[in-house]
Amino acid sequence: MKMFVLSTVILTSLTAHSAFASQNINDHYNFISGGAQFSTFNESLPNKASNDEDARSKNIVGVYLRASSGLTNNLFTEARVDFSKKNKLKVTDGLIGAGYVVPLDEDASVYGLMGYSIDSFEFPTQKKNHKGLTGELGVKYQATSNWTFEPAIRYADYERSMYEIRVNNTFNVSDDISVEANIIQDRIKGTDSTDTIEQTKFLLGARYNF
């Protein structure tokens, strides 16, 4: 069932029909970006090896990096890393993959991406790694001359299912520089409702388009 979902995500994009499919990759897929992020979890996580009141926290801050590069025609590669830390608590999310773009018109395109991702939680006394294949389906829409709206949904085939919903916004400052304001929510399902990890991330940074 998990692999079926992954295959469906990619197949939907690859088989999409468009009169613009033969065009070269959109400029929105060639960039490097990074900035700060603030994450909040559905439950308090341990950040110290003690029983003090401040030894657990729902909130954590960090940084993010992202890079995307068009290869040829409608193909692109992308890599992402998010890192947050508070005392002994470290949370790392990473992804590397390749995607296929289908332009819909001059302002919009849909893409499918498949790759490998990892969600790592390093607690004061233990470490948990979730890793496996991942698939993503997204849209990039240039709503105005200065604003691009980028919603996406991603599924990861870990030992437990992971779902991510992301809404990216970029605001052009110049031809090459943009400001990013993104919201991401991911959910790693547990064996029951009390073992499910939900994370909401707020990201603010800058993007260089090349």
pLDDT in tens, 121-151: 999 888 988 899 999 999 999 999 899 999 9
Domains belonging to the chain, first-starting first, are 2-209 (2.40.128.90)
pTM (two decimals): 0.84
Instruction: Give the integer Cα–Cα distance in Å for 136 and 195.
Output: 24
pLDDT in tens, 51-64: 776 788 899 999 99
Please list, in sequence order, all residues whose beta carbon lies within 8 angstroms of the beta carbon of residue 160, skipping any fewer than 6 positions away.
130, 188, 189, 190, 191
Instruction: Give the integer Cα–Cα distance in Å for 155 and 138.
Output: 12
pLDDT in tens, 141-200: 999 989 999 999 999 988 878 999 999 999 999 989 999 999 999 998 765 556 788 999
Helix (H) / strand (E) containing 6 = helix 2-14
